[in-house]
């Protein structure tokens, strides 16, 4: 019996292609399963919530929060804020930066929904991560009258 000849008597012709056949079948099954899971569950969306009125939007927002539906919250936030964020980014000017108790006070001007805006924002650096982020409460804790007046003057001009 000649073992080098695949067509030798007693040897099946399809046996050498069995690994290729099995791996192709496994690939087809995994792709089909992934597609089925995606179609069945769908992409993250807010489509099951109602945002047709302020009252419905409030109820939907609270329901998403209560249920921990973070995919829907992210989708809603992205869809609602995309155009405004694009407009602000295009028109943003950082007019000045001031140090205040380890924070940076940014003097900003931009347009939002077609209206000019002048605003001050406080940014602090996290000691552990080294990342900068906005501190929205610092403005309410301002004890320095000169800084508080400068903020008010900038935003009212």
| pLDDT tens-digit map of 15-30 | 567 777 778 888 888 8
pLDDT at 10: 58
Low-confidence ranges of the chain (pLDDT < 50): 44
pTM of the full structure: 0.61
Q: What share of the chain is helix, strand, coil (3-state, %, to 5)?
A: 50, 20, 30
66 token code pair = 């209560």
H/E element holding 61? helix 54-67
* Residue that has been written with the tokens 């791996």 in this structure: 23
pLDDT at 11: 57
Angstrom distance (rounded) from CA 19 to CA 45:
41
Closest to 98 in 3D by CA, of 62, 138, 71: 138
H/E element holding 1? none
């Amino acid at each position: 019996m000649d073992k080098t000849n695949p067509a030798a008597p007693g040897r099946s012709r399809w046996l050498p292609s069995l690994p290729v056949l099995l791996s192709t079948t496994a690939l087809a099954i995994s792709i089909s399963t992934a597609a089925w899971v995606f179609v069945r569950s769908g992409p993250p969306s807010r489509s099951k919530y109602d945002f047709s009125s302020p009252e419905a939007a409030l109820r939907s927002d609270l329901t998403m929060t209560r249920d921990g539906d973070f995919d829907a919250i992210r989708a809603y936030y992205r869809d609602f804020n995309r155009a405004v964020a694009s407009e602000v980014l295009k028109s943003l000017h950082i007019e000045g930066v001031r140090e205040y108790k380890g924070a940076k006070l940014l003097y900003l001007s931009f347009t939002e929904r077609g209206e000019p805006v002048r605003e001050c924002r406080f940014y602090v650096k996290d000691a552990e991560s080294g990342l900068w982020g906005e501190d929205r409460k610092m403005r309410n804790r301002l004890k320095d009258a000169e800084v508080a007046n400068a903020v008010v003057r900038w935003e009212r001009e």
